[in-house]
Amino acid sequence: MSETATLFAALRQSADQNVVEMLERMVRNDPDHALNKINALELARREGLDEERVIAALLNAVGLGMFEMTWNVMCPSCAGVLSANKSLKTVNSAQYNCAFCAAGYETRLDDLVEVTFTVSPRVRKIAAHAPDELSAAEYYRQIFWSSAIDLPGDIAKLLDEVTLEMIDLPPGERAILSLQVPEGTVIVFDPVTHTAQYLEVKGAEASDRQNLSVIFNKVRPPVESAALRPGPLRLALENRTDNRVLPAVWVVNAALDAILTRRKPALTATRLLTNQTFRDIYRTDTLAIGQRLKILSLTFLFSDLRGSTELYERVGDLTAFDLVNEHFRLLQEIIASERGAVVKTIGDAVMATFETPDRAIAAAIRMREAMSDLGAERQHQSLSLKMGIHEGSCLAVTLNAQQDYFGQTVNIASRVQGLASSRSIVVTESVVENARARSLLETTGLTPTPRSVALSGIADKVSVYEIS
């Protein structure tokens, strides 16, 4: 049996069989670019498979060394990759700048960092493993642009519509391009060094040749704009790096806008951090000590088993321990099935995260019923949960040697849980204002009861809603 066959056999032990068969088929038959920077959500949609099962299979494949995982910092405007990282630990800048868009963006895990998967050379060697050998068009497709941009099969034809000139310039070389620049905005851009020079072309047509020089080096200079007139241009290009560069002269037009606005959903860092398989595999190796990454919106669920101390007293340690462990198993199973993840357990309490409020509410409703069923099954009717849910911004951090979260959102979620009575779910205003959460509550026939409360450590009163 070949090494690849052995690896796929091992993957079948931990991942969904249909997903493993799909990945094996892709490795065997698909073109190189299909195995580079794989968008897990798009792959699941195209193949009609469950997203969570596709993500879980790819994560397990990374663990086996079959695929490589990359955390791409991408520009939300042009979808270009500003920084490709093998680990979230190296996403360590507070802001990333896009030369192509001449804009800077605060680092956020919600929309600025995507996670993609590329087949390992030990399974199959593909062109993207040697990016310096890719054509310019394929470099844009496979290296520069993120998996969030929806590119057609014939990328070269598409680029022809927006490109005046494109050249492959070896290290240390110079080139001179003679071209006619049209009125409007023109960009000289290199995707390797992320160097950009804007040309604002307007006025009467130039009768004499205009001159412009652009140098590519390892230092990213600030994006500048040069004023030119329509007409002939002598463009001098110099590569002062140790690698080839791929400068192109782009025309800002409707065709370019059409390229940049073609988007599809991508697997964000925020969603992956709330994936149970990811947390199980990378619990202690996600962020560096002291690293803090911002998340604009994350939903926290805190639960606590009511009367657990009395339970130990009433039924004895062994029976109570068994019940509490079964309670943890059921909760983790429900949380994972609603696309959430258990961050940690504290005594008999659980802290979990979800990408959206509706998923947290759905999980809470199911958890409440599961405890009722478990109590009836074990003849302990007193088994019930107190739960609190809150949504807001936070920081992803490392605490006590594992990936955790910090901020006022976490504090409020914990305190809201303390307001809950037996079998009640208390949520904050930001949760019930979520459109999908409201729809879910209407569908289930549950009407939240509002009240205003004071929370310890919070200056203003907080509007909360009880779902009994």
Vertex 274 angle, CA 272 and 279, to 5°? 80
| Start and end residues for every CATH 3.30.70.1230 domain found in the chain | 284-467
Per-residue DSSP letter, 115: E
> Where is 270: in which H helix or E strand?
helix 269-273
Q: What is the per-residue pLDDT across 385-432, written as a single tens digit (0 to 9) for each?
A: 899 999 999 999 998 888 999 999 999 999 999 888 877 899 999 999
Residue range 152-171: average pLDDT? 88
Alpha-helical segments (H) within 338-406: 357-377
What's the pLDDT at 114? 97
Find all residues with CB under 8 Å of 117, minimum gap 6, and list them: 37, 38, 40, 58, 61, 62, 67, 68, 69, 70
Residue range 142-166: average pLDDT? 89
What's the pLDDT at 233? 95
Q: What is the per-residue pLDDT across 85-124, written as a single tens digit (0 to 9) for each?
A: 999 999 999 999 999 999 999 999 999 999 999 999 999 9
Spatial distance between the Cα atoms of 361 and 356, rounded to a whole number of angstroms: 9
Burial class (CB in 10 A: 0-12, 13-18, 19+), 344: middle
Q: What is the per-residue pLDDT across 285-320, written as a single tens digit (0 to 9) for each?
A: 789 888 999 999 999 999 998 755 666 666 666 666
Q: Is the pLDDT of residue 158 over 70?
A: yes
What's the pLDDT at 415? 92
Reduced to 3 states, what is the DSSP secondary structure of residue 194?
A: coil
Q: What fold characterizes domain 284-467?
A: Alpha-Beta Plaits (3.30.70)
What is the value of pTM for the model shown? 0.91
Per-residue DSSP letter, 5: H
Residue range 424-446: average pLDDT? 94
Reduced to 3 states, what is the DSSP secondary structure of residue 353?
A: strand
Q: Is the pLDDT of residue 360 over 60?
A: yes
